[in-house]
Amino acid sequence: MDEIKEKLPYDVVEIILSRLPSKSLLRFKSVCKSWNATISGERFAGVHLRQSRQSSGNQDIFFWCEVPRFTDYSQVMVTKIPQHIRSKMKLEQLEHEQKLDPRVLCYCDGLALLRYGKLLYNQYGKLLNNHYVLCNLSAGTHVEFYCPYDEISYSWHKRVYGICYDPSINDYKVIIIDYERYAIYYCRAMQWSEIRETRDEFLGGGLFIGKSVSLNGDLYFMLKTVEDRGYGIKIVGRCQMIKVGGGEKEEELMWVDLNGRPPNSEQVECDMASNIQEYVNVLAFDRIYCIKTGYQQIPYLENLFISEPKRKGGKKIITSC
Amino acid sequence: MAAETGTPTTLTLKSNDDELFSVAESAAILSVTIRNMVEDGCAGGVIPLDNVDGKTLASVITYMNGISAIPADEEKKKSYRDKFLSDKDFETLADMVLAANYLNMSCLMDAVSAKIAQVMEKKSVGWVRRKFGIENDYTPEEEAAVKEEHKWTFEGVETDDDN
């Protein structure tokens, strides 16, 4: 064979790159300028996301758990951020200072939302529980932000969270919902929506519990409803979330009842206990669902999200304090 | 199509170094490029494949025959693909990905590009430049800056053995 091979054409190189995990991609930005440009491009991030979704696998497993008798204690468990990623993201330091609660509030496409665990008070001595850390697992970066809405912030024990992708504006959204209201944080724009009322005809007075799970842009929640024999559990999904109109934004949460079972999931027996985080006493849970997300690798989201946590740019993070 | 007659149609493929290969039409039409030629009725004589050399074409035909002999069982097909690619070196894989691209064989393309990515995953930047024939067009300062930005990604990189 000749010593110099012909170069692989650009489109073939891109197909190969789309199969690589984020860590390799970020390293290979150093190969040459054109690879850097390709890997940094927004189009490539989209290709990689689609590729990650197509590959079948079950790297990310979520558990929906329900404590039978302790109705206030029911929750959805979402995977913790693995240790090696935590150290890479320097989250350990925050944890060490007991600032960060290591539990993931919600997760989507490699974005994870965590909350500051340290109690902060404002000048009137009121507890502020509105400080969040949004982690981009693929780029190994995180940003901190505040929820500016006191109404939601103070009812922290009633809140649930979700992250989902909105292709119409090419942005990820963090949704914070309490019983009556919700607000949305646009990750890329780094802005909050206005606070809005939840339409309650579907929810029928039920309460959200625990955490949401995000799959292919949809969010799934558990909903506690009042039934004859005390409380029942519904699992509801959000479909066609948030339509964004031309000038005036019209946002709406729509709910569908999934008959108690999330799609693409299987109910698992308690022998899956070894896979569940150690602090969950699995025997206390009535039902456990394992959801296969279909991701083989964490999608490469560097450019769909803030890649440099320290970069301030012209954008301002809205704070409430 | 000659399926009714009992004798399967055979196509003759010619590599760019003038080697001739016979392959069953049913296997060859895994390539959309070849299938289009067959459907357009221009696969009667020898089909010249100008972008594929003999060694690679022989390998691709082995794959075509192997995979089309497996009934519709995605598990078995996958394990055949894994086994087929397991002992191929980077140069062979690069030839095959080009051939799969040219022949428009999506299943081979997927498998080979995934395999190449698997081989590359832990390799150094220098290894990638050599294997892909890429010239480093960064100035030393620029390169240091790009590397510094993603320093953690250089942890756990294999030492180059050029295999």
For residue A205, the distance in angstroms to the closest alpha carbon of chain B comes to 47
Q: Output the pTM of the full model.
A: 0.66
Please tell me the least confidently modeled range out of A81-85, B97-101, B140-144.
Answer: A81-85
Which residues in chain B have their CB less than 8 angstroms from residue A17's CB? 117
Q: Does A37 touch chain B (CB under 8 A)?
A: no
Residues of chain B with CATH 3.30.710.10: 3-120
Nearest CA in chain A to B112: A16
Contacts 24+ apart (CB under 8 A), A93-101: A94/A133, A100/A133
Query: Which residue of A11, A16, A142 is the best one to mutate when testing the B interface, meaning the one whose CB has the most B CBs within 10 A?
Result: A16
Beta strand A100-108 with A111-116 is: antiparallel
Whether A58 shows a pLDDT value over 50: the answer reads no
What is the interface pTM, i.e. ipTM, of the complex?
Answer: 0.90
Which residues in chain B have their CB less than 8 angstroms from residue A23's CB? 152-153
Residue A318 vs residue B142, higher pLDDT: B142
Q: What is the pLDDT of residues A162-198, one digit of tens each?
A: 787 776 777 788 888 776 778 888 887 888 888 887 6
Those residues with Cβ within 8 angstroms of residue A142's Cβ, 6 or more apart along the chain or in another chain: A89, A91, A133, A134, A135, A136, A309
d(CA A76, CA A49): 25
pLDDT at A225: 56
Reduced 3-state DSSP string for A115-176: EECCCEECCCCCEECCEEEEEECCCCEEEEEECCCHHHHHCHHHCEEEEEEECCCCEEEEEE
Q: In what order do the strands lie in the sheet with A265-267?
A: A75-77, A61-65, A288-292, A265-267
Nearest CA in chain A to B91: A5
d(CA B47, CA B39): 13
Chain A contacts in chain B segment 68-107 (CB below 8 A): 91, 94, 97-98, 101
B117 vs A20: CB contact, 8 Å cut-off?
yes
Q: How many CB pairs under 8 A join A and B?
A: 83
Q: What is the pLDDT of residues A120-151, one digit of tens each?
A: 666 666 666 678 888 877 777 788 888 888 77
Query: Which residue of B55, B152, B157 is the best one to mutate when testing the A interface, meaning the one whose CB has the most A CBs within 10 A?
Result: B152
Q: Does A47 touch chain B (CB under 8 A)?
A: no
Query: Which residue of B75, B109, B152, B153 is the best one to mutate when testing the A interface, meaning the one whose CB has the most A CBs within 10 A?
Result: B153
Please tell me the least confidently modeled range out of A37-46, A190-199, B57-66.
Answer: A190-199
B109 vs A15: CB contact, 8 Å cut-off?
yes
Residue B115 near residue B85 (C-beta atoms within 8 A): yes
Q: Does A316 touch chain B (CB under 8 A)?
A: no
Q: What is the pLDDT of residues B78-135, one digit of tens each?
A: 899 999 999 899 999 999 999 999 999 999 999 999 999 999 999 999 999 999 999 9
Give burial (CB, 10 Å; 0-12/13-18/19+) of A95. Answer: middle
Query: Which residue of A4, A7, A11, A31 is the best one to mutate when testing the B interface, meaning the one whose CB has the most B CBs within 10 A?
Result: A31
B132 vs A9: CB contact, 8 Å cut-off?
no
Residue B54 near residue B41 (C-beta atoms within 8 A): no
Could you give the 3-state DSSP secondary structure of residue A195? Answer: coil
Which residues in chain A have their CB less than 8 angstroms from residue B116's CB? 16, 19
Residue in A26, A27, A32 closest to B136 by CB = A32
| CATH architecture assigned to B3-120 | 2-Layer Sandwich (3.30)
B137 vs A33: CB contact, 8 Å cut-off?
yes
Residue in B132, B138, B154 closest to A27 by CB = B154
For residue A24, the distance in angstroms to the closest alpha carbon of chain B comes to 6
Give the residue among A248, A27, A189, A185 at the shortest CA–CA distance from B147: A27
Residue A219 vs residue A308, higher pLDDT: A219
For residue A49, the distance in angstroms to the closest alpha carbon of chain B comes to 15
Residue B160 vs residue A278, higher pLDDT: B160
Q: What is the pLDDT of residues A246-288, one digit of tens each?
A: 334 445 565 566 555 555 555 444 333 333 333 333 333 444 4
Please compute the mean of the pLDDT values over residues A25-33 and round it to a whole number: 93
Residue in A5, A20, A26 closest to B150 by CB = A26
pLDDT at A64: 42
B114 vs A19: CB contact, 8 Å cut-off?
yes
Q: What is the pLDDT of residues B17-57, one digit of tens each?
A: 999 999 999 999 999 999 998 888 876 788 899 889 999 99
Percent of chain A residues past pLDDT 90, beyond the cut: 6
Residue A133 near residue A94 (C-beta atoms within 8 A): yes
How many C-beta neighbours within 10 Å does residue B3 have?
A: 10
d(CA B138, CA A210): 50
pLDDT at B162: 60
Whether B66 shows a pLDDT value over 70: the answer reads yes
Give the residue among A182, A185, A177 at the shortest CA–CA distance from A211: A177
Residue A225 vs residue A46, higher pLDDT: A46
Structural Rg of chain A based on CA atoms? 21
B113 vs A30: CB contact, 8 Å cut-off?
no
Q: Does A30 touch chain B (CB under 8 A)?
A: yes
Percent of chain A residues past pLDDT 70, beyond the cut: 39
Q: Does A7 touch chain B (CB under 8 A)?
A: yes
d(CA A28, CA A300): 13
Whether A224 shows a pLDDT value over 90: the answer reads no
Structural Rg of chain B based on CA atoms? 20
Q: Does B157 touch chain A (CB under 8 A)?
A: yes
Residue A47 vs residue A245, higher pLDDT: A47
How many C-beta neighbours within 10 Å does residue A82 have?
A: 10
Give the residue among A141, A154, A167, A239 at the shortest CA–CA distance from A195: A154
